[in-house]
Amino acid sequence: MKSVRSQLALIVASIALSWGSVMAQEAVIRKNLSERLPNLPKIDEVSKTPMNGLFEIRMGNEVMYSDAEGNFLIQGSLIDVKQKRNLTEERMDKLSAIPFDQLPIKNAFTQVRGNGKRKLVVFADPNCGFCKRFEKDLQKLDNVTIYHFLYPILGEDSKTKSKNIWCAKDKAKVWNNWMINGTTPPTANCDDSAIDSIVAFGQKNRITGTPLLLFADGSRVPGAVPMAQVEKILADIK
């Protein structure tokens, strides 16, 4: 029993020493980087990476890398070539996740297909060619509730079309007629401040292109991805 206790004590001491060393390194990195780069944004987190001697420096949703003493700062992707994984991309995906309950759902219009149990959010610009292509593929998706967020970032005509779609009596019908059939949305007027709110929300959350897909688990996928990929993500969400 005494031997077991001694071993446990050694393990605890080793963990404490290791933790203390990590904290000391973090303090050195923070101090040196802030002193040497006074215009560097506030460092929110310093953490070890799988690469020996390399530390991740997180500033908000931005990620850079440093050596253990803050002598060097690296910007770019960290690739695990053995496992063929882009570790920076995976980290950015986690940092950019948007919890579903934080979405301004009141500013979306919805389409329900089948039982509507699965949830998919789409940010799209009405003049985005990739969005139109994706919308046509999206017609094949069943048993889903689709939340459409109008995200006009391609110019004034996009804003006009978004307003006309948002102010239509049947938003989903006018949207589909334009995106799939090419029928220009008829002129309509109403309070369209919801669109401005969506754009502000997107900018805050670094949504820089369309289409952008968000899922119930908070994950996001940019671009007009194949429907098979959408189906897989929806199936994997429990």
Q: Could you report the per-residue pLDDT of 159-211, keeping only the tens digit for each?
A: 999 999 999 999 999 999 999 999 999 999 999 999 999 999 999 888 989 99
Comparing 149 with 223, which gets the higher pLDDT? 149
Q: Could you report the per-residue pLDDT of 80-111, keeping only the tens digit for each?
A: 999 888 999 888 878 878 888 899 999 999 99
Rounded CA-CA distance 168/162 in Å is 10
Q: How confident is the model at residue 6 (pLDDT cuts 50, 70, 90)?
A: low
Rounded CA-CA distance 211/227 in Å is 13
Q: Could you report the per-residue pLDDT of 49-90, keeping only the tens digit for each?
A: 999 999 999 998 889 999 999 999 999 999 999 988 899 988
pLDDT at 152 over 60: yes
What confidence score (pLDDT) does residue 14 get? Answer: 44
CB-CB contact of 59 with 39 (8 Å): no
Query: Above pLDDT 90, what percent of the chain?
Result: 71
Q: How confident is the model at residue 9 (pLDDT cuts 50, 70, 90)?
A: very low
pLDDT at 16 over 80: no
The residue assigned the tokens 């109403």 is 190
What confidence score (pLDDT) does residue 25 get? Answer: 85
What confidence score (pLDDT) does residue 182 get? Answer: 95
211 preceded by cis ω (within 30°)? yes
pLDDT at 8 over 60: no
What confidence score (pLDDT) does residue 21 get? Answer: 56
Query: What domains are there in the chain, each with its CATH number?
Result: 2-95 (3.10.450.70), 100-236 (3.40.30.10)
Strand 118-124 to strand 144-150: parallel, antiparallel, or no bridges (unpaired)?
Answer: parallel
DSSP single-letter state for residue 106: G
Q: Quick one: tokens of 125?
A: 């610009």
Residues 6 or more apart whose CB falls under 8 angstroms from that of 62 comprise 41
Q: Could you report the per-residue pLDDT of 119-138, keeping only the tens digit for each?
A: 999 999 999 999 999 999 99
pLDDT at 38 over 50: yes
Q: How confident is the model at residue 19 (pLDDT cuts 50, 70, 90)?
A: very low
pTM: 0.72
H-run or E-run covering 11: helix 2-36
CB-CB contact of 151 with 199 (8 Å): yes
User: DSSP string covering 13-59, please?
Assistant: HHHHHHHHHHHHHHHHHHHHHHHH-TTSPPP-EEEE-SSTT-EEEEE
Comparing 24 with 110, which gets the higher pLDDT? 110
What confidence score (pLDDT) does residue 2 get? Answer: 53
